[in-house]
Amino acid sequence: MKSVYRYLALLIGLGVVVQVMAIALGWFTALKDLDGGLVIDKNYEGNFGHELHGIVGMMVIPILALLLLIVSFFAHVAGGVKWAAIVLGLVVLQIALAFVSFGVPAIGALHGINALALLAVAGIAGRRAVTRVEAPTTASAHI
């Protein structure tokens, strides 16, 4: 179960990286299309990058975070439940910040910063599941 915990945490981190790539793709595509004559108004529904960002952010990462929390109860990772709960809390905050950002765009900056925090915390959670080898004691090192 430690491996499952670790891979779920690492998949969440990978999901954040995909999110960064997707939103960059979405807006650079929109800017290119704008230069080509596209009108971006209230009817603009985005492009593939925007859709990918929405799917990964609203479905994939939250499901992975819930699974991480569930697995954390069985994985016997030191502090695993705490770190999984923090990951889930940051995911919930990330979604809330996204929705608030549509009404108050400046909050979008916090959405970006929180994504970095989620990446870091998911990495910490995954790292905690790595089995550590005990360093040899002085007496056993001389044998």
Considering the entire predicted model, what is its pTM?
A: 0.87
Q: With contact defined as beta carbons under 8 Å apart, do 68 and 87 qualify?
A: yes
Share of the chain above pLDDT 70, in %: 91
- Domain ranges for the chain, please list them: 2-35+44-127
What spatial distance separates the first Cα and last Cα of the chain, rounded to whole Å? Answer: 35
* pLDDT tens-digit readout, 56-95: 999 999 999 999 999 999 999 999 999 999 999 999 999 9
